[in-house]
Amino acid sequence: MPELNLTSAPAHLRHGSNIGQPLTRRDGVLKVKGQATYAADNHPPGMLFAVMAVSSIAHGRVTSLDVTAAKRHPGVVDVMTPDHKPQLAIDPEIKTNPFVFRMEVLQSNEVRYANQPIAVVIAETLEAATEGTVLLAPRYETLPALVGLDADDSYVPPVVGVGNPAEHHRGDVEAGLASADKRIDAIYETPPQYHNAMEPHAIVAAWNGDSLQIDMPTQGLMLSLARVAELFGIPHDKIHIRSPFLGGGFGSKGLMAGPPVLGIMAAKLVGRPVKLVLRREQMYGPVGHRAPTRQRLRIGTDAEGRLIALDHHARTVSSTFDDFYEPAADASHTLYAAPAIRTSHDAVRVNTGTPLFMRAPGEATGSIALESAIDEMAFACGMDPLAFRLKNYAEVEPITGKPFSSKALRACYDEGAARFGWAKRTLQPRQMRDDSGLLVGWGMGTATFPALMFQAEARAVLRRDGSGAMEIGAHDMGQGGWTALAQIAADAVALDIDRVTFKAGTSDLPDAGIAGGSAHTATAGAAIHSAGAAVIAKLADLATNDERSPLFGAGNAGVIARDGRLVRRDDESRSESYTDILARAGLAEVEARGTGAPNPAAMEEYAMHAHGAVFAEVKVDPELGQIRVTRMVGAFAAGRIVNPHLVKSQLFGGMIWGMSFALHEEAITDRRSGRIMNANLGEYHIPVNADVPPLDVITVEEHDPHVNALGIKGVGEIGITGSAGAVANAVWHATGVRVRRFPIRIEELLTQL
């Protein structure tokens, strides 16, 4: 029987009752009890510990390593260096596809950024390996480091983000600005930010002959497997990756980075299993980060406050040896209805690890600048920020002119504003205070993130004992994949969720695509939905072709699945259980596969985005300049909500990160050395619980018949957009001081208050 692909079929054909339920995490108890096995919890027999030595210079060359001293240290087994390492099958500098980024796996003595791996010490204990890295006492030939947004001559990158043109335009921006009644021209800066997932990158690698067992957190099982296969020259079926749980990914664990490859190399070198876990400071270099930006926004309006031109330029950085460009200016493509829009990027090369994906790459950096600028423009027009946004509401996608597949943003504005009490806001800044004299400010921002889909496959099984199974190499990064995807699986085979074995998180399962781009639930969900439909169709074939079945002659499409039974669509009194159908057919089980994929025709026709509106209240001490966020309300429309409980958590997390973006988070780079001076959780500030105010999330109902069969848009990243700008705008509204460098530092407010 051919496999069915129902990804473009309307969602309402399904009759399940799991999707939409606020189930608590099915893996929650395991995690609370410490029984969820993360990569670094694995200890195969004979395992050794590997610790990376990393460069303390940002540019130059390692001239010596005291390998002898390191090897003399008790417990040290071996030291892997450029001169002593297993050969890879291909040069790691070769980019074999657009999702391959260059990595440092001891291919040379060259140093391209601080914290770059320069050797790996392998020892019987973690402590011995750690001391071994100190005893290596590396010496360097140091070259001047390129640091910051003005480090070098700029250039226009070939593409930004994933294959987007660096420049876009629609209409004549300069003419629009020239004819504008009011205009603003402002420059905003965002800092470098680094990944600080609770779980650092980690790997336990064990070779058995030419077979390789890997325990490693990954957001992309099959992409990682393919990269490992080509680097080590072994077939895919010789590699098995287990990644049942991630302690956060946020884009840093999507593509294979250098450190886990070093772990595999180390295991090969010593012929024993090896564990390699990054120290916190080693996260600040070889595993991707969010590049800094400097963004100039020029906006013009007519006398009625209608946008007539929007020009958004972003300067960013990439590494000296590879290309990834934070597509910050692209945030201006979709939100506001300006007849003339231009977005452009330029970049300089600096001595850092290559910047890569970090939760809402481009959207997060672009959003805080755009939403600040829109706020400034609204004030210049004498308009309330919400009224201004509504006046410039985009009925079609501004940069393309395409209609939206769905867009409930107006409802987000309405419901968010009502819940927040926005109507009582003063137009002028610095007009609101609380009883203790603190300045109070209210700000808002619009949230947006594209609704993406990748490719995925799933396998569904129905068994004679009335149970089912769904298999897909999907990823739970903490977002709740074990739960939400299992809900979709249960509905897909019309069984109670407890009757369906949901298998995920290993590379021997069907490819679920990458868990990124806020697309995993949509993509894996579509494959699950499709596989479920396919296995039900097989079962229906068995029943409707069997004279002994009450469903005989109903036709494949004449039955529907409900609660473990097939029911005749035109006569619900006639039904038969899965168990009876399989028993009579003499089958132990029936299985089928299904795929999920984007629909190119729909993508051509529609612009697909999730939307939201975030409202923030801050209080500011009028003398000391200290800021505290006291309230946030976010209303989001993201298509079908599979699990409201988990979705709220995702959106809370995004809103907190938005607040962090506006007020806390920044990697401090020494401008002379290129070293990051706060590469630890004590000094790289993210909000603590005491910083997080009461958060309120509203999910606005939105039916989208075009994005995919289930109507899912994804919520992984959108929460950070809008939120950062809302907090920044609230600080302005409280104080009348517009700070355009993020995070907002106390000294910038202090001198102007």
Partner 1 sequence: MKQFDYVRPATVKEAIAAAAQPGAAYLAAGTNLLDLMKGNVSRPDRLVDVTHLDGLDRIDRLGDGSLRIGTLVSNADLAHDVEFAKAYPAVAEALLSGASAQLRNAATVGGNLLQRTRCAYFYDTASRCNKREPGSGCDARDGENRTHAVLGWSESCIAMHPSDFCVPLVALDAIVEVEGRGGRREIPFDELHRLPGNTPERETVLEPGDLIVAVRLPAAARGFAAHARYLKVRERTSYAFAIVSAAAALRIENGKIADARLALGGVAAKPWRARPAEEVLKGVSPTADAFQEAAWRALTDAKPSGNNAYKIELARRIVARALTLAAAGTPARIPALPASPFASSGAIHA
Per CB under 8 A, residues contacting partner 1 are 56-57, 74, 127, 130-131, 134, 424, 426, 431-436, 438, 440, 619, 621, 623-626, 628, 630, 664, 668-673, 675, 677-678, 682-683, 685, 687-691, 745-747, 750-751
For residue 567, what are the β-bridge partners?
560, 575
Element (H, E) at 735: helix 723-735
Smallest gap, in angstroms, from Cβ of residue 667 to partner 1?
A: 11
How deeply is 130 buried, as exposed, middle or buried, from its count of CB atoms within 10 A (0-12, 13-18, 19+)?
middle
Contact 343, 336 (CB under 8 A): no
Spatial distance between the Cα atoms of 612 and 598, rounded to a whole number of angstroms: 23
**Minimum CB–partner distance for residue 678 and partner 1 (Å):** 6
Q: From the CB of 454, what's the least distance to partner 1, in Å?
A: 36
Q: Give me the least distance between CB of 409 and partner 1, in Å please.
A: 27
Six-digit token pair at 365?
């950096």
Output 335 or 734, the one with its CB closest to partner 1: 734
Q: Let me know: does 409 contact 613? Beta carbons within 8 Å.
A: yes
End-to-end CA distance of the chain: 73
Give the separation between CA 453 and CA 455, rounded to whole angstroms: 7
Residue among 227 and 430 whose Cβ is closer to partner 1: 430
Nearer to partner 1, 285 or 517 (CB): 285
Query: Smallest distance from the beta carbon of 561 to partner 1, in angstroms?
Result: 51
Residue 734: phi, psi to the nearest 5?
A: -70, -40
Which C-beta is closer to partner 1: that of 17 or that of 680? 680
> Using CA atoms, how far apart are residues 750 and 429, in angstroms rounded to an integer?
16
CB of 751 to partner 1, least distance (A): 6
Cβ density class 170-207: b for 16+ within 10 Å, e for less: bbebeebbeebeebbebebebbbbbbbbebbbbbbbbb
Nearer to partner 1, 208 or 426 (CB): 426
Residue type, 465: D
Give whole-number Cα distances, 422 to 50, 370, 582, 699, in Å: 55, 20, 59, 18
Nearer to partner 1 among residue 170 and residue 628 (C-beta): 628
Which residue type is seen at 57? I
Could you tell me the smallest distance in angstroms from the CB atom of residue 269 to partner 1? 23
Q: CA 350, CA 289: separation in Å to the nearest integer?
A: 13
C-beta of 152 vs 691, nearer to partner 1 = 691
Question: Residue 474: what are its φ and ψ, rounded to 5°?
Answer: -85, 170
644 alpha-carbon distance from chain centroid: 19
54/299 with CB nearer partner 1? 54
**Least distance from C-beta 117 to partner 1, angstroms?**
15
The answer to whether 417 and 423 are in contact (CB under 8 A) is yes
- Of the pair 573, 751, the CB lying nearest partner 1 is at 751
* Unique residue bearing structure tokens 């992309």: 220
Q: Which of 33, 424 has the CB closer to partner 1?
A: 424
- Asked if 459 contacts 510 with a C-beta cutoff of 8 angstroms, the reply is yes
Quote the least distance from Cβ 356 to partner 1, whole Å.
24
10 Å CB burial of residue 557 (0-12, 13-18, 19+) is exposed
What b/e readout covers 291-323, taking b as 16+ CB neighbours within 10 angstroms?
Answer: bbbbbbbbbbbeeebbbbbbbbbbbbbbbbbbb
Tell me how far, at minimum, the Cβ of 671 lies from partner 1, in Å.
8
Q: Decide whether 591 or 691 has the Cβ nearer to partner 1.
A: 691
CA 518 and chain centroid, separation: 6
Among residues 303 and 690, whose Cβ is nearest to partner 1? 690
Which CB, 168 or 275, lies closer to partner 1? 275
3-state secondary structure 135-162: HCCCEEEECCCCCCCCCCCCECCCEECC
Would you say 218 and 234 are in contact if contact means Cβ atoms under 8 Å apart?
no
Instruction: In angstroms, give the least distance from the CB of 366 to partner 1.
Output: 25
CB of 628 to partner 1, least distance (A): 5
Residue 351 C-beta: closest distance to partner 1, Å: 14
